[in-house]
Amino acid sequence: MLTSSTALTHQETGSITSPKGFKAAGIHAGFKYKRNDLGVIYSETPATSAAVYTLNHFPAAPIKVTKESISEEGLLQAVVVNSAFANACTGKRGEDDAYEMRGLAASHLRIPDHYVAVASTGVIGELIPMEKMRAGMAQLQPESGDHSAASFNQAILTTDLKVKSACWTMEIDGKTVTIGGSAKGSGMINPNMATMLSFITTDANIALPALNQALKEVTDKTFNRITVDGETSTNDMVLVMANGQAENDELTTDHEEWDIFVEGLRRVSEDLSKMVARDGEGATKLIEVEVDGAATENEAGVIAKRIVGSDLVKTAVYGADANWGRIIQAIGQSSATIDPEKVDVWIGPIQMLKESRPLHFSEEQASAYLKEEQVTIKVDLHVGNACAKAWGCDLTYDYIKINASYRT
């Protein structure tokens, strides 16, 4: 169990290159007009690796290649990522291109092919210009330092307005363990996964089964609790690499400080998740929904995500309209355990519903709160003791503009 003395520290300027032995690079290979569009994360030594992937029935070619790489030994030493082209629904040619992308990186970095994961993001159905990929791969020179992480962070963006980076450190076995992360995602976000790529690095020494378990547990509570538009993409991936250079005793679920590592991984993942939600296409506000008093944690999460994913709730928040009825209708559509006579609702500090009955509140005060950049909605179901959170954003006119002309 975590205690008040547990040393978990947020590193404001940390990144994917903060854990020992990790390097990165990002360059402009010509897939996009100006910004970096090809990047790599590299570990000096093979790293125990795990990933979770999109549940879309049309997984992109890089998903297949990465699954194959990880299944070989459970080890990776690099992940190479391109933006602009998703390499999804591209048939055998696209699959061949993904394998070539892996081979090019492996040859350039002088590591085995199956030590390389690949990821792509961008327009579905268009082939990657492989002549630009070949020339670009030769220019990738992974380096340590936050500047190299920044170049990678930019290389993976599509419609994102901001880069997304997080880092936490903790003490395990008297050693400093660092976890860093980078993500992209702005639209088509409704994980299990979404047009969301997230790459997490750590110098922790950890057993593969334990890493798989930790990633799945944390993903369910973070990345799978965000939504921008309810759409799940073809390319989603969360990948974690652990190279062991912190030299702690091997982490397993029986390790005395196992919970510390899981909490560190959760904090990095939650930071990235909230950044993705806040950077939703056209968004002006981050919405956080907290559900308490649920029968189970899973049901609390289902309701929280249902609320934050409701177009009616999202548009009400955009319009600074304190319409608690939108929240109730979203709760009522859930399959979770509900007592319709016991629900309490708050928007920010203002309680609007008590035992499913409306309370008097100041419309002016509520509207002023809803104009802030972060809006919190709290619900207490009073049917149990479980709680969970979910994150999303408001739905604006700009979302329509961006997606009406995404390819043009």
Residue 299 maps to a domain: yes
Residues 247 and 326 in one domain: no
Dist. CA 39–CA 27, nearest whole Å? 6
What predicted TM-score, i.e. pTM, was given to this entire model? Answer: 0.87
> Which domain range does residue 364 map to?
286-404
Instruction: Flag whether 2 is in a domain.
Output: no
Q: How many domains does the chain have?
A: 2
Residue-wise pLDDT for 243-263, tens only, equals 999 999 999 999 999 999 999
CA 308 – CA 190 distance, rounded (Å): 11
Note whether 203 and 62 are same-domain residues: yes
Residues annotated as part of the active site: 195
Positive or negative torsion for Cα 346, 349, 352, 355? positive
Q: Are residues 34 and 99 located together in one domain of the fold? A: yes
98: pLDDT confidence band, cut at 50, 70 and 90? very high
When pLDDT is averaged across residues 176-182 and rounded to a whole number, the result is 98
Residues 241 and 325 in one domain: no
For position 229, what pLDDT does the model report?
A: 57
Asked if residue 304 is part of any domain, the answer here is yes
| Residues 78, 23 contacting (CB under 8 angstroms) | no
pLDDT at 399: 75
Tens digits of per-residue pLDDT, 16-68?
A: 999 999 999 999 999 988 899 999 999 999 999 999 998 888 889 999 999 99
Tell me, yes or no, whether 179 lies in a domain.
yes
Residues 220-254 as b or e (16 or more Cβ within 10 Å = b): bbbbbbbbbbeebbbbbbbbbbbbbbbebeebeee
CA distances from 147 to 15, 108, 187 (A): 9, 21, 26
Query: What separation in angstroms does the CA of 159 have from each of 91, 164, 196, 317, 384?
Result: 25, 13, 11, 22, 41
3 has pLDDT over 60: no
For the chain, the average pLDDT equals: 91
Which pLDDT band holds residue 169 (cuts at 50, 70, 90)? very high
Residue 1 domain-assigned? Answer: no
pLDDT tens-digit series, residues 223-250: 988 876 555 678 889 999 999 999 999 9
**pLDDT digit string, tens, across residues 282-319:** 788 999 999 999 999 999 999 999 999 899 999 999 99
Domain endpoint, select from 227, 254, 277: 277
Residues 224 and 294 in one domain: no
- Give the CATH number for residue 326: 3.10.20.340
Q: Same domain, yes or no, for 200 and 61?
A: yes
Report the distance separating Cα 65 and Cα 166, nearest Å: 27
The answer to whether residues 336 and 241 belong to one domain is no
